[in-house]
Structure 1
Amino acid sequence: MKVSGFLLAGLAALSMAGCATRGTTVDSPVLRDPAALAAAQAAQATRTAWLASQSDWSFAGRVAVNANGKGGSGRIDWQQTGSSYLVALSAPVTRQSWRLSGDLRTGAARLEGLEGGPRDGAEAGDLLRAATGWDIPVASMVHWARGVADPAAPAEGMEYGADGRPRTLMQHGWRVDYLDWLPAEGAQPAMPRRMEARRQDATVKVAVDQWHLTPP
C-alpha cells in the first residue's frame, strides 16, 4: 500500500537526518575456529539470559526505514515495560511525530500521528504495512535491537566476529547485521550501537545513542 501523504511529507523533510544511520558494513572476519566459536556461543547464551531478565529497558537513537524505495528517517525512542512497548518516531525538521504502542502478549497495537487519526491492529507489523507501507517486524525487533534472536522461532543462522560478538543473524527471512557495539559497563553486557535489518526490498537501520537497562 502507498504511504499516506501526511507521512510522506514528514519523511521527505528528514532526508538529511538519515545520513547519521548510513554506513558501510564492518568487514570483520567471521569466527571459524571451533574453540573460539564455542566460547563466543557460550558468552552469547550468558548475555541472552541476562537480557531476558530485564523487564524494563529503553534506548534512544536514530532510525532509517526504506520499503520499495520509499521511506525516511528520524529520531527514535523505544520504551519497553514488560511485554508493553511504546515507540516514538519524531521528525526534527517538521516537528511531526508518530507513536506505536502495543503488547507482545496480545499482539495488539496502535499507531498514532497519521492523517485521519489513530489506527489499531491485531499485529504491529501488519498495522505498519497497512498504514505506512513499511515492513518492520516489530515483535522481532524487540530482541534484534538488543543483539539476540527472537525466541519465538529458531534462528536460521548466526555468525560471530573476531571479537566474539554477534556479527550477522538470520531469522524469519531477515538478515540482521551488527555493525558496531557499545562496550560492556559493569553488569551490563555489550549492546548494539548500529544495526541493519534487510529482507528483499525492505531495510531498517538503527543507530543507538544511549541504552538504559537496570541490572537484575
Structure 2
Amino acid sequence: MVAVLALAGCVSQPQRAPAPAALTGAALAAATARVEAREAQVRAAERLGFSGRVALSNGRQGGNGRIEWSQAGDGYRVVLSAPVTRQSWSLTGDAAGARIEGLEGGPREGRDVEMLLLEATGLRIPAGAMAAWAAGTRADAGAFGPARLHFDAGGTLARIEQGGWTIDYQAWQPADAGAPRLPLRVSAQRGEAKVRLIVDQWALGDVPVQGG
C-alpha cells in the first residue's frame, strides 16, 4: 500500500540543521523559556493549521506531495495530495481513534493512529505528535514521554528528542512581535522512518501566518 504515497511533486533536500550547542546557565534558561512561551501561544489558539510539502519514507519506499493539516484540540484533519496525478487521501481523528479515506479498498478505522497508518501505507508517521513538533513544541508527555530540547549557539531550538523520534529544525520564520516564531523546515526520524516537511503557510486560530 506504500504506492499510495508515490505522489507527484517535489520536496527539496533538507538544509543542514544548526549544530546543537551545549547551552548552560542563563542562556539555557532563556532558550527553554522561549520554547515554553511558544507552547503557551500555540496551545491557546483554538485552531492550528499549516500547508506545505511533505516527504515520507521507510528507508526503502516512500513518496512526497502536498499536505494540508488542520487541528482543533484533539481533533485533526490531514489531506495528502498530488496535484499532477490527483491522487489524495485524508486522515481524520481525535483522542478516540482515526479514519483514513481515499485508499484502495475503502475507508479504514482504528484506535491507534500510528498503527493504522503503518498497516495502510507501510510508513511510520507520528500523526499524534506531528502538529506539536511541526510547530516547534513538545508533544504530550503522557502519550510520548519526556522530551529533550537542544539549541544552537544563538539559543534557537535546533532539535527535540521525544518518543524515540529526533526532530531537527532547519529553518524558522523571522521574528514577528506578538506572534510565535514557527518552523519552516522540519525533519523527523526514527530508525529508517523519515518525515520531511516544508511549510508554506501557518495559521493560528483564524489568522494566517506567512511561511516560506
TM-score, structure 1 length as denominator? 0.88
**Unaligned stretches of 5+ residues in structure 2:** 208-212
Q: Which residue of 1 aligns with 2:210?
A: none
Whether 2:54 is the aligned partner of 1:63: answer yes
Whether 2:161 is the aligned partner of 1:170: answer yes
Contact conserved, 2:20 with 2:150, CA < 8 A, in 1?
A: no
Whether 2:43 is the aligned partner of 1:52: answer yes
**CA RMSD, Structure 1 to Structure 2 (Å):** 1.9
Which is worse superposed, 146-155 or 167-176?
Answer: 146-155
**Unaligned stretches of 5+ residues in structure 1:** none
Amino acid at match of 1:87: V
- Once residues 126 and 11 of structure 1 are traced to their aligned partners in structure 2, the CA distance between those partners, rounded to angstroms, is 16
- Once residues 72 and 39 of structure 2 are traced to their aligned partners in structure 1, the CA distance between those partners, rounded to angstroms, is 18
| Aligned-residue offset at 1:215 | 8.4
Q: What is the CA deviation profile of residues 156-176 of structure 1, one whole-angstrom value per residue up to 9, with x for unaligned ones?
A: 421011232210110011100
- Once residues 90 and 215 of structure 1 are traced to their aligned partners in structure 2, the CA distance between those partners, rounded to angstroms, is 23
- Once residues 5 and 39 of structure 2 are traced to their aligned partners in structure 1, the CA distance between those partners, rounded to angstroms, is 35
Whether 2:76 is the aligned partner of 1:85: answer yes
Amino acid at match of 1:188: A
| Aligned-residue offset at 1:29 | 5.1
Q: What is the CA deviation profile of residues 72-113 of structure 1, one whole-angstrom value per residue up to 9, with x for unaligned ones?
A: 00000001122211000001220111100001x22x101111
TM-score, structure 2 length as denominator? 0.89
- Once residues 116 and 215 of structure 1 are traced to their aligned partners in structure 2, the CA distance between those partners, rounded to angstroms, is 36
- Once residues 122 and 100 of structure 2 are traced to their aligned partners in structure 1, the CA distance between those partners, rounded to angstroms, is 13
- Once residues 109 and 156 of structure 1 are traced to their aligned partners in structure 2, the CA distance between those partners, rounded to angstroms, is 25
- Once residues 190 and 31 of structure 1 are traced to their aligned partners in structure 2, the CA distance between those partners, rounded to angstroms, is 22
- Once residues 83 and 54 of structure 2 are traced to their aligned partners in structure 1, the CA distance between those partners, rounded to angstroms, is 13
Q: Which residue of 2 aligns with 1:19?
A: 11
Q: Which residue of 2 aligns with 1:192?
A: 183
Amino acid at match of 1:213: L
Q: What is the CA deviation profile of residues 37-58 of structure 1, one whole-angstrom value per residue up to 9, with x for unaligned ones?
A: 1111112111211111112121
| Aligned-residue offset at 1:13 | 5.0
| Aligned-residue offset at 1:27 | 3.4
Aligned to 2:40, the other structure's residue is in SS state helix
Assess, with a 3 A threshold, how the Cα gap between structure 1 residues 12 and 46 changes in structure 2: closer, same or farther. closer
Q: What is the CA deviation profile of residues 97-150 of structure 1, one whole-angstrom value per residue up to 9, with x for unaligned ones?
A: 1100001x22x1011110011111112111100110110111111211111111
Q: Equivalent pairs: percent with the same residue?
A: 41
Q: Which residue of 2 aligns with 1:137?
A: 126
Aligned to 1:140, the other structure's residue is in SS state helix
Whether 2:194 is the aligned partner of 1:203: answer yes
Q: Which residue of 2 aligns with 1:181?
A: 172
| Aligned-residue offset at 1:25 | 1.7
Alignment of 1:67-146 (within 5 A): 67-103=58-94, 105-106=95-96, 108-146=97-135
